[in-house]
Amino acid sequence: MKQDIFQAIADPTRRAILTLLTIQALTPNVMAEKFDMSRQAVSKHIKVLQECELIKPVPSGREIHYYFNVKKMQEFDIWLAQLKQNWETQFNQLDELLSTIKEQKI
């Protein structure tokens, strides 16, 4: 099953990995060292993050560096901004409706 962004970032270790990746790309070995984890445990986190496209692998020589995929996060933020705008529009409509009803009652 494809992973959901929010399931991915609900985990504190994965959030920490992402935070580190926003600063620099890392190999799985370096991640394991930094977080004092087994290679296996790191691989599992990488798999989840990669499946929801929050990170992307870039091979360099015999190693793979993982990069933070800024675009994926931005897409979502744009959608949230639109959602906020929709609520604002609705509430402004409600303001007008409320003042119309109040005038009718007077």
| 98 lines the binding site for other proteins (CB under 8 A) | yes
Residue 36 is encoded by which pair of tokens?
Answer: 């004092």
**Residue span binding other proteins (CB under 8 A) among the ranges 19-27, 29-37, 62-70, 97-105:** 97-105
> Where do we find the tokens 């060292």?
33
Which residue from 32, 91, 103, 104 is in contact with other proteins, where contact means CB under 8 A?
Answer: 91
**Residue span binding other proteins (CB under 8 A) among the ranges 27-35, 36-44, 57-65, 77-85:** 77-85
Contacting residues for 57 by C-beta, under 8 A, at least 6 apart: 50, 64, 65, 66, 67
Alpha carbons 69 and 47: distance in angstroms, whole number: 14
Are 26 and 33 in contact by the 8 Å Cβ rule? The answer is no
| 33 lines the binding site for other proteins (CB under 8 A) | no
Residues interacting with other proteins, by CB under 8 A?
4-7, 9-10, 15, 52, 76, 79-80, 82-99, 101-102
